[in-house]
C-alpha cells in the first residue's frame, strides 16, 4: 500500500537535515509522499519539490503554524497552500517576527538566571542559508545541552524552555481562526497537529467551527488511547484523520519525536486533503 508521512521538519526551521536530505530519506523508505511542515515558513518547499521530482516522491506544500487559543498553544498544519500567496506570506512573516522577539525575551530571562547566550550563537545552530534565520527554542536548548547545563533537550524544556520552565515566554497573538482563514485564502486546508500534546480536547469543537478540515490522529507522542480518541473525534466532526512522524532528525545525539516514516497514513489521505483544498 502506498504510504505518506505528512509531518516533517528541515533546517529551514528546527530540523537538522536539508529538504533534499529529508526527501532522499523518504525515497529510501519507499514513501509515496511527504509534507515538509517547517514552522511558519515554506522556505524549503522548492528544494524539496526538485528533489522529489528526481526521486519520485510527491511533496505536499505545507507549513506548521503556531497559534494560541484560550492560553493554549495549538499548532495548525496547512496543506496544499500556495506558498507565495500574499496574505498567507504576510501572516508567516508576522509569525517569524514574533518568534524572533520571543527568542530575545527568552535569552533575557536566561541572562537573569546567570546563563548568557547571544542571538548570534542561537542562529549559528541553524545551518540554513536563508536570508532570515528561523530559529527557536530547540536551538537555544541545543546550546544548553552543549554547555552541560542540562542532560538533553527534554531537560532543557522541562527546566527552562517549556511551559513550566524558568525562562518560558509565550508571545503569539495569532488565533487558530486567523490561521485557518489565511490557509483557506491560500487555497489550502487546515489540520490540527498532535492534539494529544495539549490535553485540551475541549477546544477541538471550537476549532472545528473555525473551519478545520483534519486532525492528526497518528503521531509518535500519541498513546494508543489517544489514537482511538482522535479517530473518534475525526468521525464525529467529519474530519480527515492524518498521520506524521514529526521528523526533525538527530540533535545532540537525540531523535526528537521519531524517525521519518514511523507514523504514516495511506496515500488516499493525501488525495482526500487535495480534494478538500480544491473545493
Averaged over 186-195, what is the pLDDT?
98
Averaged over 236-244, what is the pLDDT?
98
Contact 10, 49 (CB under 8 A): no
Q: Mention every residue, 6+ apart, whose C-beta is less than 8 A from residue 278.
A: none
Averaged over 198-209, what is the pLDDT?
97
Whole-number Cα distances in Å, 94 to 88, 100, 171, 212 = 10, 10, 12, 22
What does the domain layout of the chain look like in residue ranges?
Answer: 3-92+175-278, 97-161
CB-based burial, 33-53: b 16+ in 10 Å, e otherwise: bbbbbbbbbbbbbebbbebbe
Cross-strand pairs, 72: 69
Give the pLDDT confidence score for residue 131 in this predicted structure: 55
Contact 214, 191 (CB under 8 A): yes
Give the pLDDT confidence score for residue 130 in this predicted structure: 58
Q: How confident is the model at residue 128 (pLDDT cuts 50, 70, 90)?
A: low
- Going by CATH, does the domain composed of 97-161 fall within 1.10.150? yes
* Mean pLDDT for the chain overall: 92
Give the pLDDT confidence score for residue 204 in this predicted structure: 98
Q: How confident is the model at residue 126 (pLDDT cuts 50, 70, 90)?
A: confident
Give the pLDDT confidence score for residue 181 in this predicted structure: 97
Q: How confident is the model at residue 276 (pLDDT cuts 50, 70, 90)?
A: very high
Give the pLDDT confidence score for residue 102 in this predicted structure: 84
Percentage above 90 pLDDT, the chain = 65
Handedness of CA 53, 130, 243, 279 (dihedral sign): negative
Nearest to 278 by CA among 46, 34, 81: 81
What HEC string does the chain produce? CCEEEEEECCCCCCCCCCHHHHHHHHHHHCCCEEEECCECCCCCHHHHHHHHHHHCCEEECEEEEEEEECCEEEEEEEECCCCCCHHHHHHHHHHHHHHHHHHHHHHHHHHHCCCCCCHHHHHCCCCCCCCCCCCCHHHHHHHHHHCCCCCCHHHHHHHHHCCCCCCCCCCCCCCHHHHHHHHHHCCCEEEECCHHHCCCHHHHHHHHHCCCCEEEEECCCCCHHHHHHHHHHHHHCCCEEEECCCECCEECCEECCCCCCCCCEEHHHHHHHHHHHHC
Higher-pLDDT residue of 190 and 154 is 190
Q: What is the pLDDT of residues 30-85, one digit of tens each?
A: 999 999 999 999 999 999 999 999 999 999 999 999 999 998 999 999 999 998 99
Model-level pTM?
A: 0.87
Q: What's 3-92+175-278's CATH class?
A: alpha beta
Amino acid at each position: 500500500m502506498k504510504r505518506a508521512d505528512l509531518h516533517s521538519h528541515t533546517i529551514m526551521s528546527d530540523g537538522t537535515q536539508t529538504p533534499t536530505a529529508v526527501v532522499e530519506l523518504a525515497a529510501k523508505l519507499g514513501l509515496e509522499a511527504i509534507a515538509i511542515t517547517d514552522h511558519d515558513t515554506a522556505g524549503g518547499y522548492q528544494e524539496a519539490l526538485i528533489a522529489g521530482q528526481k526521486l519520485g516522491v510527491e511533496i505536499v506544500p505545507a507549513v506548521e503554524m503556531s497559534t494560541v487559543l484560550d492560553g493554549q498553544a495549538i499548532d495548525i498544519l496547512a496543506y496544499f497552500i500556495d506558498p507565495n500567496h500574499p496574505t498567507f506570506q504576510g501572516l508567516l512573516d508576522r509569525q517569524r517576527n514574533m518568534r524572533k522577539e520571543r527568542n530575545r525575551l527568552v535569552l533575557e530571562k536566561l541572562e537573569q538566571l546567570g546563563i548568557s547566550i547571544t542571538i548570534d550563537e542561537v542562529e549559528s545552530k541553524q545551518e540554513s542559508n536563508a536570508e532570515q534565520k528561523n530559529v527557536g527554542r530547540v536551538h537555544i536548548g541545543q546550546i544548553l545541552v552543549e554547555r552541560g547545563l542540562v542532560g538533553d533537550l527534554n531537560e532543557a524544556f522541562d527546566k527552562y524552555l517549556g511551559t513550566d520552565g524558568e525562562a518560558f515566554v509565550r508571545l503569539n497573538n495569532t488565533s487558530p481562526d486567523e490561521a485557518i482563514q489565511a490557509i483557506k485564502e491560500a487555497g489550502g486546508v487546515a489540520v490540527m497537529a498532535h492534539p494529544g500534546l495539549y490535553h485540551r480536547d475541549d477546544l477541538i469543537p471550537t476549532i472545528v467551527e473555525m473551519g478545520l478540515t483534519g486532525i492528526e490522529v497518528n503521531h509518535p507522542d500519541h498513546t494508543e488511547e489517544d489514537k482511538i480518541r482522535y479517530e473518534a473525534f475525526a468521525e464525529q466532526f467529519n474530519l480527515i484523520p492524518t498521520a506524521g512522524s514529526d521528523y526533525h532528525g538527530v540533535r545532540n545525539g537525540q531523535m526528537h519525536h521519531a524517525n521519518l516514516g514511523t507514523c504514516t497514513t495511506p496515500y488516499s489521505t493525501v488525495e482526500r486533503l487535495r480534494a478538500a483544498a480544491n473545493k
